[in-house]
Amino acid sequence: MFVVAHISDLHFNGTQFNRSRIQSTLSYINARAAGIDVLLVTGDLADEGAPSEYREAYGVLESPLPMLITAGNHDVREPFSATLLGAETSGPINHSRRVGDVLFLMCDSSIPGRNDGYIDDQTLAWMSARLEAEDPQTPVFVAFHHPPVELHMPFMDSIRQTGEERLIPLVERHPNIVAFLCGHAHTPAVTRFADRPLCVAPGVASTLNLPFEGTEIVNRGQPPGIAFHIYDKGRLVTHYRSVVF
C-alpha cells in the first residue's frame, strides 16, 4: 500500500490567517507521517509570487516526509525555483522523483503572467522521455496545477488547463500512469481524464463555491483540506479530510 498526502493552493502571503491554515494542515499530516509515504503540494505556494512569500514558505514547509512541489498560476518561476528548489530557472519547472517503487512526474502547467494553464511542448517532450525511460511496470503519478477538464465551476473552468487533447496519446501509450493529481480549483473533486482518475486537492488557503452555494466565489469560512490517495494492488482510493485550525 502506498499513501500520498496531497495539498494545494497554500497562498503564502505574510498573513497569520493563511499561515495558521497552512501550519495546521502540515501538523495534521506530520503527526500521521508514519502511515504516509509522500507529501505532494500542487502549486500556488505563493499568493503574488513575491520572493518574501517563498522565503516564508521555505521557513514553514517542514515535514519528515519526502515533499514534492509543482508551480501554479500564482507562482513566479524564478523566485519559486531559486528558493524552494535551489536552482533558479525561467523555464518550465519539471522534475521527477521516485519514492519507493512509485514514480512522480511534477509537470509545470503554468503560463507566465496568466491564470490559465497549458502543458507546453517542452514539458510534453520531457514527460514522454521520462516515461519511455521507465520500467513499464512502475506505477506513475502525474502532478500539475491546472485541471485539464471542466469542473462545473464557471470561474475556474474559464482558467483551466487547455490543449489537454495533446496529452491523451501519451497516456494511451503508458498504462502504468495511475492517476493525475492537481489543484487550482480550491475544491475537493474526483473525475476522469484520458480514462484515468483525476483527483483535485481541496484548497488550504480557501475554498471556492459551486454555483449553487452562493454568489461569492471565495469561501474563507470552510476549513483547509487534505486529499489522501491510497494506491494498492492496482486500485486508487481517495479520502478527503478537513483540518480544524
Position 13 scores a pLDDT of: 98
Cell of 191: 473525475
Position 245 scores a pLDDT of: 81
Distance, in Å, from the CA atom of 207 to the CA atom of 14, rounded to the nearest integer, reads 19
Residue 139, C-beta contacts closer than 8 angstroms, at least 6 positions apart: 2, 101, 102, 103, 176, 178, 231
Position 127 scores a pLDDT of: 98
H or E element at residue 122 = helix 121-132
Answer yes or no: are the C-beta atoms of 80 and 94 closer than 8 Å. Answer: no
User: In the chain, how many domains are there?
Assistant: 1
Distance, in Å, from the CA atom of 32 to the CA atom of 74, rounded to the nearest integer, reads 29
Position 3 scores a pLDDT of: 98
The segments of the chain whose pLDDT lies below 70 read: none
H or E element at residue 168 = helix 168-173
Residue 230 CB burial class (10 angstroms; 0-12, 13-18, ≥19)? middle
Q: For residue 150, what is the domain's CATH number?
A: 3.60.21.10
Q: For residue 158, what are the domain limits?
A: 2-242
- Nearest CA among 94, 168, 151, 153 for reference residue 126: 94
Query: CA torsion angle for 134, 144, 122, 78 (degrees, to 10)?
Result: -120
Radius of gyration in angstroms for the set of CA atoms belonging to the chain, rounded to a whole number: 17
- CA atoms within a 13 Å half-sphere pointing along the CA-CB vector of 86: 1
Cell of 175: 498504462
Report angle CA 241, 244, 245 to the nearest 5 degrees.
Answer: 130
Query: CA torsion angle for 106, 9, 101, 195 (degrees, to 10)?
Result: -80
Whether pTM exceeds 0.95: yes
